[in-house]
Amino acid sequence: MSELKKFRLINKIEGISFIILIFIAMPLKYSFGYPMATKIVGMLHGVLVFAFLYQIMEAKKEAEFTWKETGLYTLLSLVPFGSFYTDKLLAKKMTTA
């Protein structure tokens, strides 16, 4: 599997974990008094963020991302649903390459 495909996969998984953290775990904690939700999902998401950062650097080498692209993909990972836009951009990049 290419580094770019691995990056697309980890990008999707990390993005889904972010959405689960924000829209499920945080309401469980703050609205329903279940703090364990953010501990579990937050830890998992944290591990996935590190995997994302590692994989984006590996994909940057292989796919020759510019620093602007790398920065954009990283910033989009901080926005809910941004990872899905990143995936759309990467799919387009893969078809044109």
Could you tell me the pTM of the whole model?
Answer: 0.91
pLDDT of residue 97: 64
Per-residue pLDDT tens digits of the chain, which is 97 residues long: 899 999 999 999 999 999 999 999 999 999 999 999 999 999 999 999 999 999 999 999 999 999 999 999 999 999 999 999 999 999 998 887 6
Rounded Cα distance, 79 and 28, in Å: 20
State the Cα angle at 89 between 69 and 10, rounded to 5°: 85
pLDDT of residue 1: 85
pLDDT of residue 33: 95
Rounded Cα distance, 85 and 77, in Å: 9
DSSP at 7: H
Q: Where are the domains of the chain?
A: 3-96
CA dist 71 to 8, 18, 27, 36, Å?
A: 15, 18, 30, 33
What DSSP line would sit under 28-42, residue for residue? HHHHH--THHHHHHH
Supply 5's token pair: 């495909």
